[in-house]
Amino acid sequence: MRTPFWLSSGFRPFFPLGALCIAVSILIWVPLYLGLVVLPTAFSPRDWHIHMLLFGGIGAIIAGFLLTAVANWTSRPSIGGWRLAAVVVVWAAGRAAISVSAGLNPWMVAAIDLAFYALLAALILAELLAAKNNRNIKIVAILILLLLADAAFHVEIAYHGSAQVAWRAGLGLVILLNLIIGGRIIPTFTRNWLTARWDTRLPALFNRLDAAVLVLSAVALIAWAAAPDASLTAVPLALAGGGNFLRMARWRGLATWSEPLLLVLHLAWGAFAAGFWMTAAASLGWVDLAASPHLWTAGAIGLMTIAVMIRATKGHSGLPLKADWGDIAICTLITIGTLARLLMPILPERIATVMGFAALSWAGGYIIYFFKYNRLLLRK
């Protein structure tokens, strides 16, 4: 039986599903927050919002990227067909279970939801072991930790009525995964682009400095997950921010100004670095504690994921890796939405208006991606 085209590689179903999940979740969140809509979920509006975006939408995009990348890492055939279909079904079942969880057993909901990360980690691990590729085992370790963070999220909901620590742990792991993968692809893509233009001033290769900053970033994220409002937490966060800016300065990002699809990856990295500084400021009480993580989520992760999705979609479709006006509009809307969200704490009298504008802008970027690339992803 012939494998359907949309099940030929992990990014084909999961990129549009992730984009759609993110957009719909954001658009529902505003009326949910304002009390205009009620969902049949056992989660509070805040917890549903966080879980659907972090473990649902971003989780789908992570799955799409890793299920596709593992074939390149191992030189083995792509994970497709019935195995990929199983991961898609399990992912969708988890999103549905969370959204109608009010009428279901909480542990059954948790089991359905957690099956996604368990299956994803098992598939990636099996491919790496079959190819004796030990270098990327750390990616599987992060997936397992994401599974544990998701499990902790459910435990906190069941016993405390709200998730307080698990969402920060989950976000910290997603940030760390982005720093690992972004630290590979950004200088590599930039090096290839500059080499094609006969520029001999190339980005620095990964060395001990990069490894040290990665470890420092992990320490800072652990400290933030455990004690976000402790003044001592600001120290590793500030150092990690500086370290990541230092890594960025070695990658010649300014030289890519003429190619927005590459430049946006550098901007996303800058948002990750600035996110460490803003979160450090929040730990000291200088900025709003609830708003600061949005520079990481809406800004850094939003830009990094959409840029990778666009590049992968174009690359696997035989299109030139060059941004068109639609791609620029997508990244611009996500940037505008992020800035608007960060302005909310200083405009409390207009919170509904600013929130609505931020949601429409940010979700709009993912909606445009969905409709712009839907045919290339799902149909041959």
Kindly write down the DSSP assignment for every residue of 237-284, as one continuous string: HHHHHHHHHHHHHTTTGGGGTT-HHHHHHHHHHHHHHHHHHHHHHHHT
Nearest to 157 by CA among 33, 290, 44: 44
Cα 126 from Cα 66, distance rounded (Å): 13
Last residue of a domain, one of 143, 164, 185: 164
**What's the confidence (pLDDT) of residue 240?**
98
Do 337 and 313 meet the contact criterion of CB atoms below 8 Å apart?
no
Same domain, 148 and 196: no
Whose tokens are 């409709």? That residue is 371
The per-residue pLDDT for 1 is 63
Give 346's contacts (C-beta < 8 A, 6+ positions apart): none
Q: Are residues 234 and 329 in the same domain?
A: yes
pLDDT score of 213: 97
Task: Find all residues with CB under 8 Å of 338, minimum gap 6, and list them.
Answer: 271, 294, 295, 298, 299, 302, 358, 362
- Residue 273 φ/ψ region, left for φ over 0, alpha for ψ in the -120 to 50 degree band, beta for the rest: alpha
Mean pLDDT by 10 residues, the chain (380 residues): 86 96 93 90 94 96 95 90 96 97 94 97 95 91 96 95 94 96 95 93 93 97 96 97 97 94 97 97 92 93 96 92 95 96 86 91 96 89
- Smallest Cα–Cα separation from 263: which of 197, 332, 316, 214? 332
User: Which of 164, 182, 211 is the C-terminal boundary of a domain?
Assistant: 164
Token pair 């083995």: residue: 76
On whether the CB atoms of residues 234 and 283 are closer than 8 A, the answer is yes
Residue 88 structural domain: 1-164
The amino acid at residue 180 is I
| Number of domains comprising the chain | 2
184 and 103, same structural domain? no
Of 164, 181, 204, which residue is a domain's last?
Answer: 164
